[in-house]
Amino acid sequence: MKIHTLKPAEGSTKSNKRVGRGQGSGRGGTSTRGHKGAQSRSGYSRKFGFEGGQMPLQRRLPKFGFKNRFRVEYKGVNLDTIQSLSEKIKKEKIDVQVLIDNGVVKKSDLVKILGRGALTSKLDVTAHAFSASAVEAIEKNGGSISKL
């Protein structure tokens, strides 16, 4: 095999459609654009969503719902995650910065501690919000919570 003998696989390439090159080519005259109308003219560009005058899909479907711009979105962190993290880093104080440093949450996230999993050690946890079951589990082990 040599570079000058390489060819694409049979049937994998097509030749360009050469339009406007005379009647003998089969694509002369109107150059496959049909007769008259916007699409036959140069400079035509279709608007996004235009369906040839048919009622567009985005206007056929009904409007519904809304986005609450005052919604506060929390990143949930469960107790089992906090327990394994405290065992790994050997700390009794878990705050948002510790979670960020260990890749559990991003710097921009608001953190809510959730109650899934068992907590075995006494921990002081600091976060933006807590679920009722998480507060109960933390305080049952003698730990404390504080909100930011």
Q: Cα–chain-centroid distance for residue 12?
A: 35
Spatial CA neighbour of 145 closest among 26, 52, 137, 70: 137
For residue 85, what are the domain limits?
74-147
Give the chain's mean pLDDT: 93
Number of domains making up the chain: 1
| In-domain check, residue 63 | no
Output 108-114 pairs: Cβ under 8 A, ≥24 positions apart. Answer: 109/74, 109/75, 110/72, 110/73, 110/74, 110/75, 111/74, 111/75, 111/77, 112/74, 112/75, 112/76, 112/77, 113/77, 113/78, 113/79, 113/82, 113/138, 113/145, 114/76, 114/77, 114/78, 114/79
Q: Cα–chain-centroid distance for residue 68?
A: 19
| Residue 91, pLDDT score | 86
Q: The whole model's pTM is what?
A: 0.60
| Residue 138, pLDDT score | 93
| In-domain check, residue 139 | yes
| Helix or strand holding residue 100 (H, E) | helix 96-101
pLDDT digits (tens, 9 = 90+) for 64-104: 999 999 999 999 999 999 999 999 998 889 999 999 999 99
| In-domain check, residue 19 | no
Task: Answer for the pair 18, 24: CB distance below 8 angstroms, yes or no.
Answer: no
**Mean pLDDT to the nearest integer, 106-113:** 95
| In-domain check, residue 97 | yes
| In-domain check, residue 69 | no
| In-domain check, residue 117 | yes
| In-domain check, residue 84 | yes
| In-domain check, residue 88 | yes
Output the domain CATH number for residue 119. 3.100.10.10
| Residue 140, pLDDT score | 92
